[in-house]
Amino acid sequence: MKVKTQYLLISLITAALVGYVAVSFFAAQGSQTVKLTNIFDSYVDLADTLTDYRTELIDQHLALFANLSRETDRAQRETLLRVGIGEAERIVERISHLRKRFHFSDSELVRLDRTGETLNQYLTSLSSAAHPLSESSITGSQLLHLSEANTHFQSATAQLSALLRDRQQQGLDQLVAIQKQTDSRLFDLGLLLLATIVFILLGSWLISRQMGKSIGRLVAVLAELSHGNTDIRVPTTQADNEFSEIFKAVQAFRETLINYHDSQLELDTRSRELERLLSTIPGMAYRCEKNQQRNLLMASAGCLDLTGYSPQQLNNSQEVSFGEIIHPDDRSRVLDQIEDATNNQRAYQLTYRLITQDQQTRWVLERGMEVYDDQTAEGTLEGLVIDITERKQAEEEVQRLNNQLEQRVHERTQDLQQTVQHLTELQSQLIESEKQASLGSLVAGVAHEINTPIGICVTAASHLELITAGLLAKVESQDLKRSELVQFMKTLNEGLQLIQNNIRTTSDLINSFKLMAVDRDNEEMRDFYLHEYLNELLKGLAPRLQAKGHRVDLNCPDNLMLHSYPGAFYQIITNLVENSIAHGFAHIPNGQISIEVECSDNLLRLVYTDNGIGVNDEVRKRIFEPFFSASAKRSKGLGLNIVYNSVTQILQGHIHCSSEPGHGICFEIEAPARLNH
């Protein structure tokens, strides 16, 4: 059982016993007091009442006898006697009513009844003595009745006095009995109280003995632990009380003390390592107050080399505060930056100048932050100050060299700009030359194509001229036959149809060439149907393709109208076809080119593919670069660069190339179908 429970149990038992004794004592005292008070009050009240009634009765009795012996007339004496007897009757009646007011025993009631009968006889004798009255003196019969009345009166008063004495004696006997009973009860309570005191002393002795042993062992263990002896064994107990918990707490304290000693050793080791580490840092570690003076609470040994002041001189501003050695021109800026950083709960990094003890100026770099103490809830500044004078000097030197370098770069940039401008002009000339060469090839192809129908027309016209001359000769000789005229008309019609068809073919070729010639350098934006435009464009390229047996398949919606630059599409399709002929189909006859066009949500997608020799990844990554060519033949390498610039800059789109060696090449072009002005 726990000691607290034992003490609580003893306290409860003691309180119960003491309470019982106190209650019993006060109950006995109260009961005795109540009984004594009731007896006393009853006796006093009854005695006073009987004494008063007896006195009144005696007074009335004497008044009656005095009235009888008074020498007055008869009527007056009768009146006085009647009044006196009436008063005596009322007194007797009140005496008879005492049994209603007071408690009497049966024997007392019998005696009280006898006294009442005697008083009634007394009243009867008085009445007999009062009737009849004579005029002068009392008669013999009246004296006899008066004598009887007096005897009855004395007997009644004697009975009342005896009742009063007996009642008084009975009260005294009751008082004595109550006192004896109370004394016996108090003696029993005293014995109970004594037993309670013995129980308390015995229980306290047992508990103190148990506690003394446990406390003695605890004191011995704590004394050893206070001297740092953590090897001592903490005693244990099997009892389920507070001491088992105390022993466990002491054991936990011993383990905590062991951990503390181990932590202290580790802390001392780390402190020495930290001191060695701080001594190697080219600067000063610090902790200071957050104020304008920046009073240092701790400064590492590096402050001597940094400022010329020892830690003892700077700590707690013994000789000078850290804020005072900050350069006056930098002081307010440093304090404002620290205030701003701490208000926003972030670290700060500052660069400023210090005035050392020998009045030298040094540049320093400070990194720090505000740290709060959990107990005082006050903030201090902790950080590191590093000497960066050499670095600052190096930066100034670098800045000077940078200024010189910037001047040189500026001068060289001007030279490069002139060179770039010259190269740009040269590139424009080469691009124009490439365009002219491409146009020359187209012109040669168109010229070759035109020669064929023109030659047919010339041949047909010459043949018609010959047969017409023969016909005219026969007409002049009047030797023309009808069948010859019919044959001539048939031959003439066929010749004219042949000439007409070839002239139409020549006209189509010329129109296509005119379209290409007009849109080649046309940079105006207009509405046009893409399918119709590409058809005309491919007709102009047909001679170049058909000469090598190559074929183009165009898949484009007929009603697709663009609002864009047709010249850009001319440059794109022409250069892609020329690239396929010159490189893709260099060693492949009957090449196949496919142009797929689709449009959705104002996005035009054109996919150009051929089944040529293809290119590897290295060539593919550089395929749009200017002056780059993978062919061994002499080439300026500007065709696909023109395609790239036309797509990205003029059409505001983008182009992607995918290819594998031996599997042809694919160009995917996406651009807006309707460009904004």
- Two tokens at 19? 């309470």
Tell me the whole-structure pTM to 2 decimals.
0.32
Interacting residues of 549 by C-beta distance below 8 A, sequence separation 6+? 589, 590, 591
Q: How confident is the model at residue 41 (pLDDT cuts 50, 70, 90)?
A: low
> 360-402: per-residue pLDDT in tens?
999 999 999 988 877 666 788 988 899 888 888 888 888 888 7
Residue 431 pLDDT exceeds 60: no
User: Residue 272 — pLDDT band, cuts 50, 70, 90?
Assistant: confident
Determine how many CB atoms are found less than 10 A away from the CB of residue 397: 10
pLDDT confidence of residue 517: 47
**Whether the predicted pLDDT of 158 surpasses 70:** yes
The CB density around residue 600, as the number of other CB atoms within 10 Å, is: 8
Helices 3-68 and 74-96, packing angle to 10 deg: 160
Mean pLDDT of 86-109: 75
**Dihedral pair phi/psi, residue 593, rounded to 5°:** -115, 135
pLDDT band at 463 (very low <50, low <70, confident <90, very high): confident
- Averaged over 589-595, what is the pLDDT? 93
β partners of residue 315: 296
CA distances from residue 482 to 24, 149, 240, 470, 471 in whole angstroms, order as listed: 177, 217, 153, 14, 11
Give the mean pLDDT of 255-269. 81
pLDDT of the residue at 317 = 74
Q: How confident is the model at residue 123 (pLDDT cuts 50, 70, 90)?
A: confident
Cα separation, 179 vs 296, in Å, equals 89
* pLDDT score recorded for residue 22: 67
Confidence band for 492, pLDDT divided at 50, 70 and 90: confident
pLDDT band at residue 175 under the 50/70/90 scheme: confident
Tokens 């700077």 locate to: 314
Q: Which of 62-66, 472-476, 477-481, 562-566 has the highest mean pLDDT?
A: 562-566
List Cβ neighbours of 342 (8 Å cut-off, separation of 6 or more): 290, 348, 369, 370, 379, 381
**CB-based contact 639:659 (threshold 8 Å):** no
In the prediction, which pLDDT does 654 show? 94
Query: Tokens 């001229």 — which residue?
Result: 465
What does DSSP assign to residue 651?
Answer: S
**Residue 145 near residue 2 (C-beta atoms within 8 A):** no
**Rounded distance, CA 197 to CA 195, Å?**
5
pLDDT in tens, 656-670: 999 999 999 999 999
Q: How many residues does the chain have?
A: 677
Residues 61 and 153 sit within 8 Å (Cβ to Cβ): yes
Q: Is the link from the previous residue into 661 a cis peptide, with omega within 30 of 0?
A: no
Which pLDDT score is estimated for 491?
A: 80
The residue-averaged pLDDT of 27-41 equals 62
- Measured at the CA of 395, the angle between CA 392 and CA 396, to 5 degrees, comes to 90
DSSP for residue 344: T
- pLDDT averaged over the chain? 78
Higher pLDDT, 506 or 634: 506
Which has the minimum average pLDDT: 147-161, 300-314, 570-584? 147-161
Give 133-136 contacts, CB < 8 A, sequence gap 24+: 133/74, 133/77, 133/78, 133/81, 134/74, 135/73, 135/74
Q: How large a percentage of the chain has pLDDT more than 70?
A: 76
Mean pLDDT confidence for 557-562 = 93
Residue 237 — very low, low, confident or very high, per pLDDT cuts 50/70/90? low
* H or E element that contains 341: helix 328-343
**Residues 307-330, mean pLDDT to the nearest whole number:** 86
Give the mean pLDDT of 474-499.
Answer: 77
- Show Cβ contacts of residue 235 under 8 Å, excluding neighbours closer than 6 positions: 217, 218, 221, 247
Is the predicted pLDDT of residue 520 greater than 50, yes or no?
Answer: no
CB distance 495 to 463 below 8 Å: yes
- DSSP of 21-59: HHHHHHHHHHHHHHHHHHHHHHHHHHHHHHHHHHHHHHH
Alpha-carbon distance of 119 to 155, in angstroms, equals: 9
In one-letter notation, the amino acid at residue 334 is: V
Confidence of residue 448 (pLDDT cuts 50, 70, 90): low
The greatest distance separating any two alpha carbons of the chain, rounded to the nearest whole angstrom, comes to 239
Residue type, 351: T
Contact 604, 533 (CB under 8 A): no
Strongest mean pLDDT among 11-20, 52-61, 355-364, 538-547: 355-364
- Token pair, residue 441, equals 């090839």
Residue 259 structure tokens:
């951990």
